[in-house]
Amino acid sequence: MTTALQTLQQVFGYASFRDPQDTIIHHVTNGGHALVLMPTGGGKSLCYQIPALLRPGLTLVISPLIALMQDQVGALQRHGIPAACLNSTQGAAASQALQRQIGEGRLKLLYVSPERLSQPGFLALLQQWQRDIGLGLFAIDEAHCIAEWGHDFRPEYRQLCLLHQHFPQVPRIALTATADPQTREEIISQLRLQEGRQFISSFDRKNLGYCIHPKDNPWAQITSFLQHRHPHHSGILYCQSRRQVESMAQWLQHQGWPAVPYHAGLSMSLREAHQSGFLASSCTIMVATIAFGMGVDKPDVRFVIHLQSPKNLESYYQETGRAGRDGMPAEALLLFHRDDLAAQQSRLDHGHRSRERKDIEQRRLDALGAFCLSTGCRRQALLGYFGEAHSGYCGQCDRCNPAFQHWSGPRRRHHAVTFAPDHFTPAYRRTR
């Protein structure tokens, strides 16, 4: 009988597992349910791909983006693994041919979007496959999308409770790189994973340095950062609006930097061209809204810049985590101004949300403000938010190492606080 380690070595070409991959794979292969929290680049995909090969039947992988599905299927096929994705871009003939292939037992992994489960007839199709060839595993990727108050909420993910209702004996594994304790509880509740195990790896990206700098003249600050820290590197610059993306990309191009824009307002062909160029080049700057990033596998991103404060610390962790996936040193720069938080506060105050969701978003916004204004170690504060202890000097943030500010010139004095989000009343909050 082929073992997990033999599959890892002979099929995927790796010599050994990273902890706790082998424990997760053993648990799931033996029919256990699991919630896996593992940082980007930690090898989450192997935690369901290897069980998919070891268990009999078809593994169904639920993934939120077509591009992400296609990338993973392509990688599996290059390893000789029979995998495919079923998506809205395929014609009827291609879809029917794929279904015949599945019915004949010639496929091991099928990637689908969460919307597919709500389409008429697909649930019946799954039930037929269960009878004919067996369903080996359900893998829910980017599982944080199920949390209603999360940073990447996808309503379609709420339908995944159907998997437990109709196929209670098929093991389910949910995977994400970003989930605070409240989001974990929501994932477990929605996917009925109460009887499963939780595997929570360290959130610490040891190769990633953090810098938060008062925003004064962002154009000059970004140029200085690139010139002094990353003159020949690839990176991502996040902006809040499409207009900012376009103006910043044009300005960087005018200054001689290889920058390209990416946002939902561009044509699909142009977005694909810019993404392909970014993935292929070692010195391209992607100027983008948060529409760019999920599932983009570019190991050599050396920096991530935020022109404005992100939505919350989950978003910040997810977006900065796109740098340094190759394990080499990388940096995250946030240009901070209280006005950015005030704008978020205004949107929250005037938004039409339930009281429960408003309270949750308020706590998350307060935590973000406390993090940005903290006088303490950035890494300690960020890990503490996710419930992980980190003590002492990290040496890789602007609070612990002045070298992270050498590009920036003199700093303005800002009111500072220690990181205590439960007790922090930020200056941008209006009296109610």
Q: pLDDT tens digits, residue range 346-384?
A: 988 888 777 887 888 899 899 999 999 999 999 999 999
Residue 430 has pLDDT above 80, yes or no: no
How many other C-beta atoms can be found within 10 angstroms of the C-beta atom of residue 119?
Answer: 12
In this structure, the answer to whether residues 398 and 363 fall within a common structural domain is yes
| Residues 72 and 171 grouped into a single domain | yes
Mark whether 195 and 338 lie in a shared domain. no
Q: If phi over 0 gives left and psi between -120 and 50 gives alpha, with beta otherwise, what is residue 58?
A: beta
> Which single residue is written with the structure tokens 């993935």?
279
Lowest mean pLDDT: which of 89-103, 160-174, 230-244?
A: 89-103
Whether the per-residue pLDDT at 89 is higher than 60: the answer is yes
80 with 101, same domain: the answer is yes
Whether the pLDDT of residue 90 is over 90: the answer is no
Residue located via tokens 């799954």 = 126
The verdict on 220 and 168 lying in the same domain is: no
Q: Is residue 151 part of a domain?
A: yes
- Interatomic CA distance for residues 258 and 61, integer angstroms: 36
Strands 285-288 and 234-238: parallel
397, part of any domain: yes
Q: 153 lies in a domain?
A: yes
Spatial CA neighbour of 327 closest among 292, 294, 302: 302
Give the pTM.
0.80
Q: 97 with 127, same domain?
A: yes
Residues 163 and 216 in one domain: no
Q: Which whole number is the average pLDDT over 130-139?
A: 96
Question: Structurally, how many domains does the chain consist of?
Answer: 2
- The pLDDT of residue 212 is 95
Answer yes or no: is pLDDT of 313 > 70: yes
Asked if residue 259 has pLDDT above 90, the reply is yes
Residue 295: predicted pLDDT: 66
- pLDDT at residue 335, as a whole number: 96
161 and 191 Cβ atoms separated by less than 8 Å: yes
Full domain range(s) for residue 112 = 4-200
CA 40 and chain centroid, separation = 7
Q: What is the pLDDT of residues 268-286, one digit of tens each?
A: 889 889 988 998 887 899 9
For residue 384, give the CATH number of its domain.
Answer: 3.40.50.300
- Average pLDDT on 31-60 reads 94
Residues 98 and 141 in one domain: yes
For 47-65, letters b (16+ CB in 10 Å) and e give bbbbbbbbbebbbbbbbbe
**Domain check: are 143 and 77 in the same one?**
yes
d(C-alpha 103, C-alpha 167), whole Å: 18
DSSP states along 235-280: EEEE-SSHHHHHHHHHHHHHTT--EEEE-TTS-HHHHHHHHHHHHH
Q: Between 239 and 429, where is the model more confident?
A: 239
In angstroms, the Cα distances linking 87 to 90, 110, 337 are 6, 10, 42
Residue written as token pair 């890990």: 383
In the chain, the percentage of residues whose pLDDT exceeds 70 is: 92
CB 312 within 8 A of CB 151: yes
